[in-house]
Amino acid sequence: MRRGQTHLEEDSQKEPAVGYWKPLMPSKGSKEEPETGCQDAGPGDESQSAEQCNVSRLRSSSVEIREKGSEFLKEELHKAQKELKLKDKECERLSKVREQLEQELEELTASLFEEAHKMVREANTKQAAAEKQLKEARGKIDMLQAEVTALKTLVITSTPSSPNWELHPQLQSPSKAVFRKGHVRNKSTSSAMITAASHNAAPEPVSRECKEVDSILFAEFQSWKESPTLDKSCSFLDRIYREDVGPCLDFSKQELSELVRAAVEQNTLTIEPVASQALSVMKGSAEDCGGPNRFRSQIVMKCALSGLPRTCKHRITLGDSGNYYYISPSCRARITAACNFFTYIRYIQQGLVRQDVELMFWEVMRLRREMSLAKLGFYPNEI
């Protein structure tokens, strides 16, 4: 074996095979050359040349595969890059849409909350206003019911033409009113007193009062009657305020006079008699004042409206203030006259007086006369 190998090595060294080996990296144009070389090789070198041909083929095929693989991978990479770019653009667009939707959602939520708070505030305001109106309406209903009840009693029992002497004793003359005071013990005593009084009393002169309608005043009243109102701007009430109400409620204490006038107009003034106990607490006992017990209700004090010391048997309150002001009989008569006028005017406005226009006009004139007389100092002795 060794000899054969040595011969081969020597032959290969002596006769080198020029042109039978192809380069490791053949060009594309010389792909057929190895096969030619292999065919031209000698019979002794067939196995070695075949192996070399196989190796060269494998190398060329691997290079082609590598080139094709690299081209395919490049194409796939390019496609993947394009898809990534498209996906990036889509993601960017979707992120913008999401941000826009989130912003719109926040604005919508804020507007909804603001609208809800606004609706709640409006509902609370409307509820408070409705409760206030309900309270005022209930108060007006109670007041109207009381006035209607009083008016029914007044209409049933007394009218201006034929007053009820039991309900209105102040309209009687002093000589007739004397016998209605106190308690009647028996029929014989009362009849004896009446008989004696009839013998001793002087005959009263019969007075007939003549009346004539003033055309200007009646026209103003008719104009006001078509649409009754308590507004001072109308000519009818403006004249009465200037000529009667203003002078009648004009007292020495100007500040308190304005409060009294406003309370009379708003129907919030209350007049109540003064109890004997209250006067005793304020002025002490009747003995300290120098009078018997039966004169306790006639203790002299300063009138809150005139500022003069007078016998104050009544006091007034203005609205819900809770403050009491003691007034003299003259001031009480003036306030009562004004209150009677406003009460009758309110009844006409509310449609509670169903009489002829002329009768209502004369009743208004009578009430105006009472205010004028009270202003001049005339008032019933029973006050």
What pLDDT was estimated at residue 300? 78
What pLDDT was estimated at residue 66? 82
What pLDDT was estimated at residue 196? 40
What pLDDT was estimated at residue 99? 92
What pLDDT was estimated at residue 100? 92
DSSP string, 52-92: HHHHHHHHHHHHHHHHHHHHHHHHHHHHHHHHHHHHHHHHH
Give, in order, the Cα–Cα distances in Å from 260 to each of 30, 239, 315: 135, 20, 12
Look at the block and give the residue holding tokens 């090595």.
Answer: 9
What pLDDT was estimated at residue 156? 57
Which class for 33: exposed (0-12), middle (13-18), buried (19 or more C-beta within 10 A)?
A: middle
For residue 132, the number of C-alpha atoms closer than 13 Å in the C-beta half-sphere is: 6
Among 198, 213, 211, residue whose Cα is nearest residue 161: 211
Q: How many Å apart are CA 319 and CA 325, to the nearest integer?
A: 12
What pLDDT was estimated at residue 104? 93
- List of the chain residues with pLDDT < 70: 1-45, 153-207, 276-299, 382-383
What pLDDT was estimated at residue 87? 92
Q: How many Å apart are CA 232 and CA 348, to the nearest integer?
A: 16
What pLDDT was estimated at residue 344? 92
